[in-house]
């Protein structure tokens, strides 16, 4: 823990100040008793009278030492009263604010806002992405404790049951951009969607469902897009199992867009094929981390100790080109890699994992699939689904790995028990095997730990779900491109008089954790690459980077 971060927390500051005040009071009490030769009761009386600055005059310090102590005591007393009063008043205000959790009686009067039903890891990140884009976000959640947590994080949140038509009518959905639903029960999601259609037939509704079958129901009741974790993760892992020499990011053909974004592998000759492109950063594939090209070396040094060396196998170049210079985005070059000699080994097995595997189209390109697990029930289930499955334990893990893995294999580590997951990765690396390890991390705070344990790529499901769901609203609304990475949000923005950055100096945006990678002056069509000065004016277009240092 850094001491600076320790002292910036109000509760910690109060603890430190309380300890200091106690020590000053105790020292004064003892001094009055020993030096002034007062009884303990009189010493306490003199202490209280001095701290409160009442000054009755019946007892006074007569020695130079106790006079000096009294001066310190008075200053400490006055200061501590002010500090403690401020702390308790702030807590009182905060408590009263958090106690009013219900929606206003007359509802919300917002326009172009985004409503999110359910507060969890996925929806919290969705809110962050749209806040970056200057959208108005509000949460509706039944659990009061979660509403309080959201508010303490600076988010607008209210308690409410979204299966109630009364609550839905208060949200002014007719004037909103869209509704995201990530509820605990699919039945509530479906009921809410049906009610929303009674309010607005054209409302954009995006849902995160628990069971794959709910996707079919979603289409029947008018849900715009239904996302299922198995489908999203299966598609992503399948993509990561391929080798791409050139990838054009889709959904960027928006009217008025000035730029186009590309991910390009290091082997792709972009200087030859994309001569007008600007290299704005590098994408570190292990954790989808964006590295600022202007400061790539400095940025890399911050995480190099955890992530390892930056080489051709673990990053892509991120390029931006003016839209007029871009070749058709359908032109994607792929390396047709022969995977027939490689095997996939899956650690852990359950229905959720089977669902993910069913959406990984690239599995058929591999020689075979094998399952290993520390749980007998998981091994039995995998065998029932036709997989070659082996039971392992901590005692025979080394031998099991030597027998079932080789350098060309890919390990998909789905183990939810963090002890077993870490142990498996560490043992694999200790054997000297170069097998590629793809780790599913169910909590963002575990990511760096898994990277240190030897994982090549870490995939947090909440992060991937939030990216998929947030991007599709941007696409459906035909808005300018937005690409969230783990530590960064890249977006195109056009400046008008209503934009928050209108008339702002480029260099001042760093105060809000924004960086301008490209600045296209509307009046002259002059393009600046990572400008350090200039003013954003009406008609300008910018490629904006929003940093998220806490992920």
Q: Measured on CA atoms in the order 347, 350, 354, 360, is the torsion positive or negative?
A: negative
pLDDT confidence of residue 331:
41
pLDDT confidence of residue 301:
61
Q: Is-contact 273 498, C-beta < 8 A?
A: no
The Cα-based distances of 441 to 14, 182, 241, 369, 548 in angstroms read 36, 20, 17, 21, 19
Q: Where in the chain is the domain with CATH 1.10.287.70?
A: 3-99
CATH 3.40.50.720 fits 113-223, yes or no: yes
0.75 surpassed by pTM: no
Q: Is-contact 456 437, C-beta < 8 A?
A: yes
Query: According to the 3-state scheme, what is the secondary structure of 458-497?
Result: EECHHHHHHHHHHHHHHHHCCCCCEEECCCEEEEEEECCC
Q: Measured on CA atoms in the order 33, 37, 41, 47, is the torsion positive or negative?
A: negative
pLDDT confidence of residue 551:
46
- As assigned by CATH, the class of the 343-462 domain is alpha beta
List the pLDDT tens digit at each of the 551 positions of the chain.
333 343 445 666 777 888 888 888 888 888 888 888 888 888 888 888 887 777 677 778 888 888 888 888 888 878 887 787 777 776 665 555 445 678 888 888 899 999 999 999 899 999 999 999 999 999 999 999 999 999 988 899 999 999 999 999 999 999 999 999 999 898 899 899 999 999 999 999 999 887 765 666 777 888 998 888 888 888 888 777 765 445 555 445 566 788 888 888 787 788 887 788 888 888 877 667 777 766 655 655 665 555 556 665 677 888 888 776 544 443 444 444 556 667 889 999 988 888 888 888 777 777 788 999 999 999 999 999 999 999 998 888 888 888 888 888 889 999 999 999 999 999 999 998 888 899 998 887 787 788 788 888 888 888 888 888 888 888 888 888 788 887 888 899 999 999 999 999 999 998 888 999 999 987 667 789 999 889 999 999 999 999 876 54
Report which secondary-structure segment, H or E, holds 377: helix 376-384
CATH 3.20.20.80 fits 487-551, yes or no: no
Query: According to the 3-state scheme, what is the secondary structure of 64-83?
Result: HHHHHHHHHHHHHHHHHHHH
Q: Is-contact 547 488, C-beta < 8 A?
A: yes
Kindly report the CA angle at 335 between 329 and 336, in degrees rounded to 5?
120
Cα separation of 411 and 343, whole Å? 9
How many residues in the chain? 551
pLDDT confidence of residue 219:
77
Query: According to the 3-state scheme, what is the secondary structure of 248-283?
Result: ECCCCCCCCCCEEEEEECCCCCHHHHCCCCEEEEEE
Residue 57 DSSP class: S
The residues, ordered by sequence, that sit 6+ positions from 412 with a Cβ below 8 Å of its Cβ are 237, 344, 345, 346, 347, 438, 440
pLDDT confidence of residue 253:
59
Answer left, alpha or beta for residue 243, where phi above 0 means left and psi between -120 and 50 means alpha: beta
CATH 3.30.360.10 fits 3-99, yes or no: no
Q: Where in the chain is the domain with CATH 3.40.50.720?
A: 113-223, 343-462
Q: Where in the chain is the domain with CATH 3.30.70.1450?
A: 487-551
């Amino acid at each position: 823990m850094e001491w600076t971060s320790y002292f910036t927390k109000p509760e910690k500051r109060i603890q430190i100040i309380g300890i200091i005040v106690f020590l000053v009071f105790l020292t004064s009490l003892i001094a009055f008793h020993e030096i002034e030769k007062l009884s303990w009761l009189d010493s306490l009386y003199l202490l209280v009278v001095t701290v409160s600055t009442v000054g009755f005059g019946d007892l006074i310090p007569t020695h130079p030492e106790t006079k000096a102590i009294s001066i310190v005591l008075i200053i400490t007393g006055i200061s501590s009263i002010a500090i403690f009063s401020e702390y308790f008043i702030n807590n009182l205000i905060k408590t009263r604010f958090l106690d009013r959790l219900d929606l206003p009686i007359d509802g919300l009067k917002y326009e172009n806002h985004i409503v999110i039903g359910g507060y969890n890891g996925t929806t919290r990140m969705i809110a962050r992405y749209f806040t970056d884009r200057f959208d108005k976000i509000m949460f509706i959640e039944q659990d009061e404790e979660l509403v309080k947590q959201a508010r303490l994080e600076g988010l607008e949140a209210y308690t409410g049951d979204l299966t109630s038509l009364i609550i839905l009518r208060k949200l002014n959905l007719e004037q909103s951009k869209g509704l995201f639903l990530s509820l605990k029960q699919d039945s509530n999601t479906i009921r809410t969607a049906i009610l929303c259609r009674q309010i607005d037939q054209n409302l954009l509704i995006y849902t995160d469902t628990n069971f794959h079958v709910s996707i079919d129901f979603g289409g029947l009741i008018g849900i715009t897009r239904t996302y299922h974790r198995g489908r999203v993760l299966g598609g992503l892992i399948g993509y990561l199992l391929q080798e791409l020499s050139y990838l054009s990011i889709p959904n960027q053909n928006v009217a008025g867009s000035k730029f186009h974004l590309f991910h390009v592998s290091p082997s792709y000759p972009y200087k030859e094929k994309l001569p007008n492109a600007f290299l704005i950063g590098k994408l570190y594939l292990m954790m989808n981390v964006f590295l600022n090209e202007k400061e790539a070396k400095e940025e890399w040094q911050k995480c190099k100790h955890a992530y390892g060396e930056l080489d051709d196998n673990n990053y892509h170049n991120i390029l931006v080109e003016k839209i007029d210079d871009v070749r058709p985005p359908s032109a994607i070059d792929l390396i047709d890699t022969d995977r027939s000699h490689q095997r996939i080994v899956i650690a852990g097995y359950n229905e959720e994992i089977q669902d993910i595997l069913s959406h990984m189209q690239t599995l058929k390109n591999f020689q075979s699939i094998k399952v290993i697990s520390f749980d007998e029930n998981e091994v039995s289930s995998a065998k029932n689904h036709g997989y070659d499955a082996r039971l392992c334990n901590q005692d025979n893990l080394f031998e099991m790995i030597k027998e079932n893995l080789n350098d060309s294999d890919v390990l998909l580590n789905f183990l939810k028990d963090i002890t077993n997951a870490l142990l498996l990765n560490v043992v694999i690396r200790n054997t000297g095997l170069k097998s590629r390890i793809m780790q599913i991390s169910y909590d963002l705070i575990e990511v760096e730990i898994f990277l240190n344990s030897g994982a090549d790529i870490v995939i947090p499901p909440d992060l991937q779900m939030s990216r998929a769901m947030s991007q599709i609203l941007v696409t459906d609304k035909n808005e300018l491109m937005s690409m969230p990475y783990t530590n960064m949000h890249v977006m195109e923005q056009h400046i008008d008089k209503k934009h928050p950055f209108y008339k702002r100096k480029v260099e001042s945006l760093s105060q809000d954790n924004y960086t301008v990678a490209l600045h296209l002056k509307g009046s002259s069509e002059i393009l600046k690459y990572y400008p350090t000065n200039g003013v954003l004016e009406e008609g300008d277009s910018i490629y904006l980077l929003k940093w998220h240092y806490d992920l």
